[in-house]
């Protein structure tokens, strides 16, 4: 038997619960780094699995099922949870045990879910999570009575402090040893009556526990008075964004310099040790100048995602959606578009896939069409490179970092143009209608560093994997195209001008000359279609090859600062705000809209906007700098 099959014989435990019950924190505590994030087959719902050992050293496979408010499958997330529990999702096994996670401070809502889960015939353990928070609100829950009332074992846990996990592991052992899974019993259709019935049942249980009327005023309410304030709220939102982008530049500086010098010393080392050959050129000009120049932007990516994860963990993001709902409504978008658009800041592909949660087809299409205008993390290296080269690291207005301000401006530029496009679409092709919002604003939490660290680690892995695979491969091909054929006898100028890439670049630069791009940029735009940050690597390789054989000071920043005009740099920045330089995004749009129509429209309108905006920027900057 192969190794792959052994792991499928392990008992399967599923974590189920309402969103915001601390389920993911519990998952992290149980599995640590032994976890894997993927998608369920055929749907875009995130699938998390991990492993842990119980007290009796039994290895267990743990699923973190998507959070659900109910069990009647209104969203794709809930559908997946329901199908897995019934053993009806192809390729997924039915769990042997459910750990039902409830927020002890919100039993009223969460216990209803537990009652629903009991109907599935799968043995269950109840994890009374956040019990420390409940205790602080003066809410003591008698676990013995609760266990009797529900007929299932109850364990008190505090996932963020790792308390009660030992008890939970013990109970899992016990229940797994005793109770087998029964066949899928018919699950009654859930109606308003079922909900009302369960609600009564919950009230009955809570009143026997003596915790029925505990609506303690939580700290969250106090915070919300300011954070959701009509005037202070938007100011706080703006300040948050401002701080994030300042930190991206100020904080990343020392780390980036360190990484840069490592990359440079590797390049110098290889250059000196290896004999003059094509292999040396491949390693130094292709691999290191190419992929290495992308890798040095890792600190920026880490800092950006650190803040995004902090905002996500703290519970602030849905509140931002709440405040922006009106604004988004005025251009014909709904608050539901907020989350897909927000994930587009990481990458447009998951953002576009997340639009499946938008039920209204018109809203969904609009969100898909503007998602690429959100500044994805792949643009960050491009922005950072050009800003570092052309925007002086001045402090303006008493200590505000100018570079960070320009970066914020580019992000805002993307958002504003997205709003503009949405507004135009509303005027022309799509009519407007109102939809329900029903968005939970979860209680604020102090972000748990452990969860942030795990989230960051996953981001780092994704970035480094990209650099090591697709970006590296493209750089090798680009190096090859930039090195052959070798220049004719007696040729003047760098060899790259005579190569295939050089010829293509020169041909393309005819098209791009009006917006100020030289042939080096034109070359870099082609591999940049595969992934935006590749353009940075491509510039690295192209300039390394054109610089001749003696210059290996890998640093791209001073090189482009010398050879580009400010107008060219600004034009390229603006180009990157709009240009649909990402094949995966277009492929995702084709998949999601079932045809070539919308990806083609997107391609044309975004390239059109990019060209026009860059043209204006180039000529305005040129006139302004007196060129």
Partner 1 sequence: MGYWLDRVFIVLVVAISAVYVIYALGSMSVKRRILAGFIHCFGLRIYTLLSPKTMGCTHCGVELQKKNLIRQLKQSGQADQNK
Partner 2 sequence: MPVSLIDLPLQQLAVIREVKSVAGGADATALRRMAEIGFLPGEIVKVVARIPGGDPIAVRVASSTFALRRREASSVQVQVLQPNE
Residues that bind partner 2 (CB under 8 A): 69-70, 72, 74, 105-106, 108-109, 112, 192, 195-196, 199, 203, 214-216, 218, 220-221, 224-225, 228-230, 233, 318, 321-323, 325-326, 329, 335, 434-443
Query: Binding partner 1 by CB under 8 A: which of 39, 148, 330, 486?
Result: 39
Q: What is the largest CA-CA distance in the chain?
A: 96
Query: Per CB under 8 A, which region of 32-40, 152-160, 373-381, 394-402 contacts partner 1?
Result: 32-40
Q: Which does 439 bind (CB under 5 to 8 A by kind): partner 1, partner 2, none?
A: partner 2
Give the Å distances, CA to CA, from 455 to 169, 208, 244, 445.
25, 41, 17, 16
Nearer to partner 2, 442 or 447 (CB): 442
Comparing CA positions, the residue from 26, 52, 549, 475 lying closest to residue 294 is: 475
Nearer to partner 2, 69 or 605 (CB): 69
Query: Per CB under 8 A, which region of 179-187, 197-205, 460-468, 563-571 contacts partner 1?
Result: 460-468
Answer yes or no: are the C-beta atoms of 124 and 101 closer than 8 Å: no
DSSP one-letter string for 207-262 = HHHT-TT-----HHHHHHHHHT-TTHHHHHHHHHHHHHHHHHHHHHHHHHHHHHHH
Answer yes or no: are the C-beta atoms of 209 and 147 closer than 8 Å: no
SS (H, E, C) 143-188: HHHHHHHHCCCEEECEHHHCECHHHHHHHHHHHHHHCCCCCCCCCC
Nearer to partner 1, 58 or 473 (CB): 473
Nearer to partner 2, 161 or 203 (CB): 203
By CB under 8 A, residue 121 contacts partner 1: no
SS3 state at 62: strand
Nearer to partner 2, 331 or 545 (CB): 331
Give the Å distances, CA to CA, from 624 to 146, 181, 330, 567, 621.
73, 74, 35, 9, 5
Q: In angstroms, what is the minimal distance from the CB of 614 to partner 1?
A: 25
Q: In angstroms, what is the minimal distance from the CB of 465 to partner 1?
A: 6
Q: Which does 233 bind (CB under 5 to 8 A by kind): partner 2, partner 1, none?
A: partner 2
Element (H, E) at 16: strand 12-17
Nearer to partner 1, 93 or 461 (CB): 461
Q: Which does 1 bind (CB under 5 to 8 A by kind): partner 1, partner 2, none?
A: none
Nearer to partner 2, 186 or 192 (CB): 192
Q: What residues pair up with 17 in beta bridges, in sequence order? A: 101
Q: In angstroms, what is the minimal distance from the CB of 127 to partner 2?
A: 18
Q: Is 493 exposed, middle or buried (0-12, 13-18, 19+ CB in 10 A)?
A: exposed
Answer yes or no: are the C-beta atoms of 443 and 105 closer than 8 Å: yes
Nearer to partner 2, 196 or 583 (CB): 196
SS (H, E, C) 310-336: HHHHHCCHHHHHHHHHHHHHHCCCCHH
Query: Binding partner 1 by CB under 8 A: which of 53, 235, 243, 279?
Result: 279
Q: In angstroms, what is the minimal distance from the CB of 387 to partner 1?
A: 27
Nearer to partner 1, 198 or 285 (CB): 285
By CB under 8 A, residue 277 contacts partner 1: yes
Query: Binding partner 1 by CB under 8 A: which of 170, 223, 462, 561?
Result: 462
Nearer to partner 2, 130 or 425 (CB): 130
Q: Which does 208 bind (CB under 5 to 8 A by kind): partner 1, partner 2, none?
A: none
Q: Which does 442 bind (CB under 5 to 8 A by kind): partner 1, partner 2, none?
A: partner 2
Q: Are strands 154-156 and 124-129 parallel, antiparallel or unpaired?
A: parallel
Length in residues, the chain: 627
Query: Binding partner 1 by CB under 8 A: which of 259, 477, 555, 601?
Result: 477
Write the interaction track for partner 1 spanning residues 349-388; mark x where CB under 8 A is met and - where it is not. xx--x-----------------------------------
Q: Which does 91 bind (CB under 5 to 8 A by kind): partner 2, partner 1, none?
A: partner 1
By CB under 8 A, residue 594 contacts partner 1: no
Element (H, E) at 616: helix 597-624
Contacts with 231 (C-beta within 8 Å, 6 or more apart), sequence order: none
d(CA 150, CA 218): 27
d(CA 514, CA 616): 10
By CB under 8 A, residue 347 contacts partner 1: yes
Rounded-to-10 torsion of CA 608, 613, 618, 622? 140
Q: Which does 46 bind (CB under 5 to 8 A by kind): partner 1, partner 2, none?
A: partner 1
Q: In angstroms, what is the minimal distance from the CB of 222 to partner 2?
A: 10
Q: Which does 221 bind (CB under 5 to 8 A by kind): partner 1, partner 2, none?
A: partner 2
Q: Which 214-273 residues touch partner 1, going by CB under 8 A?
A: none
By CB under 8 A, residue 34 contacts partner 1: no
By CB under 8 A, residue 603 contacts partner 1: no
Answer yes or no: are the C-beta atoms of 21 and 67 closer than 8 Å: yes
Answer yes or no: are the C-beta atoms of 85 and 200 closer than 8 Å: no
What DSSP character marks residue 484? -
By CB under 8 A, residue 174 contacts partner 1: no
d(CA 281, CA 78): 54
Comparing CA positions, the residue from 290, 300, 367 lying closest to residue 542 is: 290
Q: Which does 218 bind (CB under 5 to 8 A by kind): partner 2, partner 1, none?
A: partner 2
Nearer to partner 2, 325 or 533 (CB): 325
Q: Which 82-111 residues touch partner 1, going by CB under 8 A?
A: 91
Nearer to partner 2, 320 or 346 (CB): 320
Contacts with 289 (C-beta within 8 Å, 6 or more apart), sequence order: 267, 537, 540, 541, 543, 544, 554, 556
Nearer to partner 2, 211 or 569 (CB): 211
Instruction: Work out the number of other CB atoms within 10 angstroms of the CB of residue 283.
Output: 18
Q: Which 556-585 residues touch partner 1, going by CB under 8 A?
A: 583-584
| Interface positions with partner 1 (CB under 8 A) | 2, 4, 36-39, 41, 44, 46, 91, 277-279, 282, 347, 349-350, 353, 458, 461-462, 465-466, 469-470, 472-474, 476-477, 480, 530, 583-584, 587
């Amino acid at each position: 038997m192969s190794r792959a099959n052994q792991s499928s014989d392990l008992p399967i435990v599923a974590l189920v619960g309402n969103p915001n019950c601390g389920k993911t924190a519990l998952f992290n505590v149980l599995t640590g780094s032994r976890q894997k994030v993927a998608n369920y087959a055929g749907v875009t719902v995130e699938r998390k699995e991990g492993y842990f050992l119980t007290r009796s050293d039994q290895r267990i496979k743990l699923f973190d099922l998507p959070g659900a408010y109910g069990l009647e499958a209104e969203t794709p997330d809930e559908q997946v949870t329901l199908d897995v529990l019934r053993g009806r999702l192809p390729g997924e096994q039915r769990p042997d045990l459910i750990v039902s996670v409830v927020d002890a401070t919100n039993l009223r809502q969460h216990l209803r879910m537990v009652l629903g889960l009991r109907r599935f015939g799968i043995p269950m353990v109840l994890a009374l999570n956040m019990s420390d928070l409940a205790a602080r609100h003066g809410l003591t829950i008698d676990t013995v009575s609760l266990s009797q009332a529900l007929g299932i074992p109850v364990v008190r846990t505090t996932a963020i402090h790792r308390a009660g996990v030992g008890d939970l592991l013990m109970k899992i052992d016990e229940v797994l040893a005793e109770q087998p899974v029964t066949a899928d019993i018919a699950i009654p259709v859930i109606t308003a009556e079922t909900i009302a019935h369960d609600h009564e049942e919950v009230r009955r249980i809570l009143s026997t526990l003596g915790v029925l009327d505990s609506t303690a005023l939580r700290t969250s309410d106090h915070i919300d008075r300011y954070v959701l304030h009509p005037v202070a709220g938007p100011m706080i939102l703006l300040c948050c964004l401002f701080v994030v982008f300042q930190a991206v530049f100020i904080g990343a500086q020392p780390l980036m310099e360190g990484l840069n010098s490592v990359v440079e010393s590797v390049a110098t080392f290889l250059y000196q040790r290896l004999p003059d050959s094509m292999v040396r050129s491949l390693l130094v000009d292709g691999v290191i100048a190419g992929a290495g120049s992308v890798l040095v932007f890792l600190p920026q990516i880490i800092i950006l995602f650190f803040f995004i994860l902090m905002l996500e963990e703290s519970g602030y993001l849905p509140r931002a959606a709440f405040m922006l709902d009106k604004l988004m409504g005025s251009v014909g978008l709904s608050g539901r578009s907020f989350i897909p658009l927000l994930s587009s800041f990481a990458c447009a592909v998951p953002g576009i896939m997340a639009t499946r949660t938008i039920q209204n087809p018109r809203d969904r299409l609009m969100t898909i069409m503007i998602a690429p205008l959100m500044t994805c993390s792949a643009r960050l290296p491009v922005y950072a490179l050009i800003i570092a080269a052309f925007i002086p690291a001045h402090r303006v207005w008493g200590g505000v970092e100018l570079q960070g301000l320009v970066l914020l401006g580019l992000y805002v530029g993307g958002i504003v143009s997205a709003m503009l496009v949405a507004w135009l679409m509303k005027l022309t092709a799509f009519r407007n209608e109102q939809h329900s919002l029903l968005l939970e604003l979860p209680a604020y939490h102090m972000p748990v560093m452990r969860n942030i660290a795990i989230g960051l680690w996953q981001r780092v892995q994704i970035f480094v994997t990209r650099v090591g695979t697709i970006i590296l491969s493209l750089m090798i091909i680009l190096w090859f195209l930039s090195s052959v054929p070798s220049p004719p006898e007696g040729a003047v100028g760098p060899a790259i001008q005579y190569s295939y890439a050089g010829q293509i670049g020169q041909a393309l630069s005819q098209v791009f000359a009006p917006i100020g791009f030289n042939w080096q940029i034109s070359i870099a735009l082609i591999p940049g279609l595969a992934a935006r940050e590749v353009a940075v690597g491509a510039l690295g390789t192209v300039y390394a090859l054109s610089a001749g054989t003696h210059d290996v000071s890998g640093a791209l920043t001073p090189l482009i600062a010398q050879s580009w005009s400010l107008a060219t740099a600004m034009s390229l920045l603006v180009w990157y705000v709009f240009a649909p330089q990402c094949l995966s995004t277009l492929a995702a749009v084709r998949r999601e809209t079932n045809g070539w129509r919308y990806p083609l429209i997107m391609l044309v309108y975004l390239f059109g906007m990019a060209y026009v905006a860059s043209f204006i920027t180039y000529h305005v900057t040129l006139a302004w700098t007196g060129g």
